[in-house]
Amino acid sequence: MSYKIAPSILAADYANFASELARIDASGAEYVHIDIMDGQFVPNISWGADVVASMRKHSKLVFDCHLMVTNPEHHIEEFARAGADIISIHVEATPHIHGALQKIRQAGVKASVVINPGTPVDSIKHVLNLVDQVLVMTVNPGFGGQAFLPETMDKVRELAALREEKGLDFDIEVDGGIDGQSISQAKEAGANVFVAGSYVFNGDVNERVQTLRDAING
Ligand code: DX5
Ligand code: ZN
């Protein structure tokens, strides 16, 4: 299993994306997690595809774009053009999850489906063959800095078992409240991609990423 750390740029300094991306790169993290919020699916508004395109000019990291937007199928091409490597869309945000995931792959981007803490694994069972990644939210989406919800780990275990049973191949990502402690719980449950925002940026980025790495290897 290959493990990836995905610092969330939502917790960075928005006036200095180029240097924040450089800090993430220097830390050895594999991904940068980019949260897109539309003020509808979640209360906040963050930024759109033009900002992602500007970031792309300053970084070769894998861009893991988490779309917290209603009807994400309308925005896939613009984020693909902006340089997303992975696009995550919420099953709760569209009645057309199957077609939307196909659209992501057609755009040449890795497809990822997201479930909120209250959403069961059953809701995505029939699209697991269409995805490269499943993102299990470990907080309710919309804000950084919330506490990790340990009850979501049952769903990570369920997904890992389903993957095995069906002979599928997708990464399991967790997002929200990941720190030096909760990351171990998520890894034990079967996650292999770890998003961390406030934990990474509320300290020395290199040290914090290293602590996360040590917890995974420990
Ligand atoms: C929450 C976002 C997260 C957020 C995580 O809605 O999807 O990616 O940046 O932040 P922390 O790690 O602070 O919980
Ligand atoms: Zn996110």
The partner residues of 64 in beta bridges, in order of sequence, read: 33, 86
The mean pLDDT of the chain is 98
Q: What is the mean pLDDT of the segment spanning 18-34?
A: 98
136 pLDDT above the threshold of 90: yes
Give yes or no: 132 in active site: no
What are 48-98's pLDDT values in tens digits? 999 999 999 999 999 999 999 999 999 999 999 999 999 999 999 999 999
Counting ligands in written order, the one closest to the CA of 197 is 1
**pLDDT cut 90: percent of the chain above it:** 99
**pLDDT cut 70: percent of the chain above it:** 100
Can you tell me which atom of ligand 1 is nearest the CA of 37? 6
* Cα-based distances in Å from 117 to 17, 76, 111: 30, 24, 20
Ligand 1 site: residues with CB under 6 angstroms?
8, 10-11, 33, 35, 66, 139, 141-146, 175-178, 195-199
Residues 38, 64, 171, 175: which is the catalytic one? 175
Here the tokens at position 60 are: 């070769």
1 pLDDT above the threshold of 90: no
Q: Return the best residue to mutate from 139, 152, 208 for the ligand 1 pocket (most ligand atoms within 8 A of CB).
A: 139
